[in-house]
Amino acid sequence: MSVTPCPGCGEVLKDIDGATHAYVGASSACWTRFAETNASLPPVTPLRRLVTDAYMVQHPGVPERRAIQSVGVHLVALCLVLEHGLPVEHLSDTLGRMLARPPAWRWLEPPDPNGDTTIGDVAAARDGGDLAGAIERYVRGVWSSWATHHATVEGWVRDTGPV
């Protein structure tokens, strides 16, 4: 069986003929692993809610409207919780208010590397390890890797006043 690096996270995975997402830049194998892992994660840490946000930001796709907005929203979610201390239970409502009058999203060039861990590390911890620690490292690592764009994300937060 052949292997290919995921275009988002770079993890080398076996090629599979499976589902992909229309604008998320993930290989079929990575997308499948994300879906299976995310569906089975217990709420072991408040940051568990941000696993999807970290994954989407780590797999930004290409510069097109849907991908640009998706990455923007998911970066804002990470920013609100990690930098502003917004409780995760308020995140969905806060993002909903923000999206009622969204900022002028623009493409942000993804960092390289885009995080130092992947959903594979979370999956491995789920199957026998420090799951809460793996989630924390994953979420915080992806956010940290986008540091060159933090000011832009903070501007989106400020301009729309979601908090």
pLDDT tens digits, 100-156: 999 999 999 999 999 999 999 999 999 888 999 999 999 999 999 999 999 999 999
| Buried b / exposed e along 73-112 (16+ C-beta atoms within 10 A) | bbbbbbbbbbeeebebeebeebbeebeeeebebeebebbe
- Write phi, then psi, for 126 (nearest 5 degrees): -60, -35
| pTM of this structure | 0.95
Domain that includes residue 76, residue range: 3-160
Domain count, the chain: 1
How far apart CA 134 and CA 1 sit, in angstroms, is 29
The string of pLDDT tens digits covering residues 19-40 is 999 999 999 999 999 999 999 9
